[in-house]
């Protein structure tokens, strides 16, 4: 096959796994001091993994939201990662319950 006829294709960056997204979300929340609006968390994670924050793919955004919500709903995982919704279910204000020293 003639190489001139082949089009160069850019490989799509592999999508992070759900567990990887949860770790990234936690790191971002720590970076923001333990709490932030989910749009800011999503934009920061997207930037960190090399996605144009002006055009975040809907599937990536949804994957981050689902990853957070699934972790928050699972008691054991919620305790492990410390995810917290200050204003309850449906809140877009994501946070971490940080251990406080007495």
Residue 18's pLDDT band (cuts 50, 70, 90): confident
The Cα–Cα gap between 57 and 95 comes to 23
93 burial level (CB within 10 Å; 0-12, 13-18, 19+): middle
Residue 99, pLDDT score: 53
Mean of the per-residue pLDDT values of the chain? 85
Q: Kindly state whether residue 35 falls inside one of the protein's structural domains.
A: yes
**Structural domain count of the chain:** 1
| Residue with token string 């850019």 | 10
Q: Which domain holds residue 35?
A: 18-95
- Residue 33 falls within a domain, yes or no? yes
Residue 96: strand, helix, or coil? strand
Examine residue 101 and state whether it is found in any structural domain, yes or no: no
Residue that is written with structure tokens 């406080």 in the block: 100
pTM of model > 0.85: no
Instruction: Tell me how far apart the alpha carbons of residues 75 and 72 are, in angstroms, rounded to a whole number.
Output: 7
Asked whether residue 9 is domain-assigned, the answer is no
Mean pLDDT computed over 13-25: 80
35-50 residue pLDDT tens: 999 999 999 999 999 9
Do 68 and 37 contact (CB within 8 A), yes or no? no
Identify the three-state secondary structure at position 67.
helix
Residue 100 resides in a domain: no
Tokens at 16, concatenated: 């992070």
Residue 19 phi/psi, 5-degree rounding, is -65, -40
């Amino acid at each position: 096959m003639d190489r001139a006829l082949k089009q160069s294709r850019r490989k799509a960056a592999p999508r992070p796994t759900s567990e990887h997204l949860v770790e990234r979300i936690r790191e971002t929340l720590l970076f923001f001091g333990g709490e932030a609006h989910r749009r800011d968390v999503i934009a920061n994670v997207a930037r960190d993994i090399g996605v144009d924050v002006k055009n975040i793919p809907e599937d990536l955004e949804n994957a981050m939201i689902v990853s957070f919500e699934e972790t928050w709903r699972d008691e054991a995982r919620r305790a492990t990662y410390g995810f917290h919704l200050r204003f309850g279910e449906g809140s877009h204000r994501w946070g971490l319950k940080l251990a406080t020293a007495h």
